[in-house]
Amino acid sequence: MPQEHRSTARVLDILEYLALSKDGGSTLTELSVALDAPKSSLFPILHTLLSRKYIRLDRRSNRYFIGISAYALGSSFAANQGAVDFILQVMEAVVESCDETCQMGVLDRDKVLYIRKVDSPQPIRMISHVGNRLPANGTAIGKALLSDLKDEEVRELYADGFPRLTAHTVVDFDTLLGQLAQIRKTGVAWEREESAEQLYCWAVPLRRDGQTFAALSVAVPMFRCSEEKKALVLDCLTQAKREIELIAEARGFLPESI
């Protein structure tokens, strides 16, 4: 995997952390702890982001928040999403058919970044949020994305070992690589209580021009996970994959434009 430019990565780490902050912004000290970076290296970056309005500072609380320039970038990105409405319609059709939560994610280094979600109408369902990141080795959607990589690339990506989300998370290289080989053959990824207890999940990679640009998943609480439900979910995912890949080819959008 290519090495990241350290200073650029730190800028992005700050923006991503503030964007996902659920506690009303962050102080310099909190950022320093969360990003494991000295205040002295963060402060000049924050000063520049502040002056360019990518972040803002509440002088009363000394907390930093995402700023208007970051919002403008996001709005510009959203304005060019020609296929987004169609993809969401496909995902809504999946949920309508199987009554379970449907998510879309992309690979962000060793993690899944969840970029789209349609909730199940069921009162008991998986709880998750767009913008969340989870270790790819512990999720069906992550395995679907990892299946596009070569085995040596997966080993390099997890050179420090696999993160564990539950007692069932796959943390052995041979086991995971064996699963990825099977996913490449069948086109379907799965996980059973690997990302959350009492949750079963299936996923399919979405491909264009031989490249996986995203993956689509359906998560089912185990008490609803009958053989009939499994068959229905797999049928829904197969149909959704076909429809999304067709629109991807027809409209020619790039993986990063999702």
Q: Specify whether the CB–CB gap between 101 and 120 falls below 8 A.
A: yes
pLDDT at 1: 47
Q: What is the pLDDT of residue 144?
A: 97
Strand, coil or helix: what is 7?
helix
The whole-number pLDDT of residue 201 equals: 96
pLDDT at 251: 62
What is the pLDDT, as a whole number, of residue 73?
76
Residue 25 — very low, low, confident or very high, per pLDDT cuts 50/70/90? confident
How sure is the predictor about 225, in pLDDT bands with cuts at 50, 70 and 90?
A: confident
Q: CB under 8 Å to 166, separation ≥6 — which residues? A: 138, 193, 194, 195, 196, 197
Overall average pLDDT of the 22-44 stretch: 89
